[in-house]
């Protein structure tokens, strides 16, 4: 049964103070945050919860302050159209890309292609087994790009896990031909330093440039030794993708980047970037790079140039992702507090730690600056067994408004308005109750994106969800139709 609640109903202090203090202390003293759950075949990661935490979660469910285990709740202006559970690929669901009537869903075990011509009844077209976390995914024309950031025995889809300390191990980018959606063909592989945790494409007529983000070098890794202070740039010829190769490794942090602890306790040391979003129509990119946020020019895509760099050593632990507004005068950066493995959406952690940071872009040209205006974090109460973290989202294209849909793991899907960058507010939501009342569990939406009138969400554990908004503030977006969407390659929604 689906419960309907408004955003203003459910407010409650969850989690005992002692437990929260312990969590914060752990985050402050730990090393660099892990960016994703550990690779594996299971859909969730679990850690034991104390008896007091378990009791409080059960009491909150009984009181109706949070939804029950796996119970669906949402605001009245969102409709849950359908869910498609996992099938052959049992690993962790990850990112999404779109093209025409198709959605491409990453999974630690490979990727899945859906026919979404009828969004109420998505149909599976293909499932490709190709293990290699986290299988971040993009599409352009007849090419599909897949990131491998776990050390493998070789570059094939039949590879097995192998220690990164072995020189023969492989990590990097894979390229598939998707001319035949039912039978994708693996056509190229490019090894990159420290693998490919995420990637971002910059499409051109004859070539596709791929910015590869990776981090956490180690002296014992032959192909990933420090310093690792930049990104790999791959050039993929559309007519000959087998000739794809690395053409540059621009150094983004000549000073080494944020040093992290002990100079900046609770902040990840910068050893590369986690994710980059480009806005090709403005020749701009924003980089979320562990301890640093970047604004840079991609006028020459092979040679990106830094315009501005910021840090937030008070409230940000791990700069995770970035989203421009359509006018390119704002950037939303997300903070992955706890590395996607901690319950951080509660009163004890507070509204600024583990939040989105909203930055205005001021000035012109090479003199532009990122200026922090405010933070946004969902304030719907979450159980202390629910891993809740700011994660992947996209713009909802409405002229004159800055609206965004965003995944928050077990915090669900949030729709929010940052038109006034100093006063962001949630306007809609969808979420499920805790996966467990007795263990801290990683689950919930990894990505939530708006595409051609619908919200599509890839839930780590539950599968592929389709939602529809019914709200006068977002309704104009239904008129905007895109032939293709890779969210980290933001389109100009209104120049078409």
Six-digit token pair at 344?
Answer: 């951080």
Tracing tokens 């090419």 back to the chain, one arrives at 143
- Secondary structure tally for the chain: helices H, strands E: 2, 33
Could you give the 3-state DSSP secondary structure of residue 123?
Answer: strand
Q: ω into residue 475 within 30 of 0, thus cis?
A: no
- Given a cut of 50, the residues of the chain with pLDDT beneath it are 1-43
Q: What are the phi and psi torsion angles at 57 (to 5°)?
A: -60, -45
Hey, CA dihedral for 419, 423, 424, 428, is it positive or negative? negative
Distance CA 149, CA 195 (A): 5
pLDDT for residue 296: 97
CA distance between the termini of the chain:
42
Question: Which residue has tokens 């992702």?
Answer: 321
- Predicted local confidence at residue 55, as pLDDT: 85
Q: What is the 3-state secondary structure (H, E, C) of 171-185?
A: EEEEEEECCCCCCCE
- pLDDT of 309: 98
pLDDT value, residue 380 = 93
Q: Locate 368 and state its tokens.
A: 């532009």
d(CA 449, CA 428): 14
Q: What is the largest CA-CA distance in the chain?
A: 61
Report the distance separating Cα 135 and Cα 174, nearest Å.
Answer: 9
Residue 99 confidence (pLDDT)? 98
For 270, phi then psi, to 5°, come to -80, 115
| Short-list 237, 234, 236, 238, CA closest to 247 | 234
- For the entire predicted model, the pTM comes to 0.91
């Amino acid at each position: 049964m689906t419960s309907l609640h408004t955003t203003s109903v459910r407010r409650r202090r969850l989690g005992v103070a002692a437990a929260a203090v312990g969590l914060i202390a752990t985050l402050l003293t730990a090393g660099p945050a892990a960016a994703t759950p550990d690779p594996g075949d299971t859909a969730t990661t679990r850690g034991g919860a104390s008896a007091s935490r378990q009791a409080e979660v059960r009491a909150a469910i009984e009181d109706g302050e949070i939804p029950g285990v796996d119970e669906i709740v949402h605001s009245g202006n969102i409709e849950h159209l359908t869910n498609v559970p996992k099938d052959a690929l049992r690993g962790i669901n990850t990112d999404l890309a779109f093209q025409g009537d198709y959605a491409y869903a990453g999974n630690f075990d490979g990727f899945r292609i859906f026919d979404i011509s009828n969004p109420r009844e998505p149909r599976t077209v293909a499932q490709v087994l190709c293990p290699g976390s986290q299988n971040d995914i993009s599409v352009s024309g007849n090419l599909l790009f897949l990131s491998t950031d776990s050390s493998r025995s070789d570059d094939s889809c039949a590879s097995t896990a192998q220690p990164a300390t072995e020189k023969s191990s492989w990590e990097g980018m894979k390229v598939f031909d998707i001319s035949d959606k039912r039978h994708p063909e693996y056509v190229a592989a490019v090894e990159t330093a420290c693998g490919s945790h995420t990637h971002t494409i910059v499409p051109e007529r004859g070539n596709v440039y791929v910015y590869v983000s990776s981090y956490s070098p180690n002296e014992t890794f032959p192909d990933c030794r420090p310093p690792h202070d930049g990104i790999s740039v791959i050039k993929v010829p559309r007519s000959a993708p087998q000739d794809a190769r690395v053409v540059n490794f621009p150094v983004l942090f000549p000073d080494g980047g944020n040093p992290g602890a002990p100079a900046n306790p609770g902040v990840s040391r910068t050893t590369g970037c986690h994710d980059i979003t480009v806005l090709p129509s403005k020749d701009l990119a924003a980089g979320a790079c562990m301890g640093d946020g970047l604004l840079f020019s991609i006028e020459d895509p092979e040679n990106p140039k830094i315009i501005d760099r910021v840090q937030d050593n008070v409230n940000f632990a791990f700069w995770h992702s970035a989203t421009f507004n359509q006018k390119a005068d704002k950037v939303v950066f997300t903070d992955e507090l706890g590395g996607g493995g901690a319950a951080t959406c509660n009163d004890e952690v507070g509204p600024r730690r583990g939040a989105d940071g909203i930055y205005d872009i001021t000035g012109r040209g090479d003199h532009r600056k990122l200026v922090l205006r405010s933070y946004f974090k969902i304030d719907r109460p979450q159980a202390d067994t629910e891993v809740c973290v700011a994660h992947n989202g996209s713009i909802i294209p409405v002229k004159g408004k800055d609206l965004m849909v965003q995944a928050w793991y077990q915090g669900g899907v949030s729709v929010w308005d940052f038109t006034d960058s100093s006063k962001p507010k949630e306007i809609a939501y969808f979420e499920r109750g805790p996966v467990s009342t007795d263990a801290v569990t990683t689950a919930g939406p990894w990505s939530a994106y708006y595409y051609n009138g619908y919200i599509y969400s890839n839930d780590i554990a539950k599968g592929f969800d389709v939602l529809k908004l019914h709200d006068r503030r977002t309704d104009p977006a239904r008129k905007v139709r895109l032939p293709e969407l890779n969210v980290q390659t933001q389109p100009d929604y209104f120049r078409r």
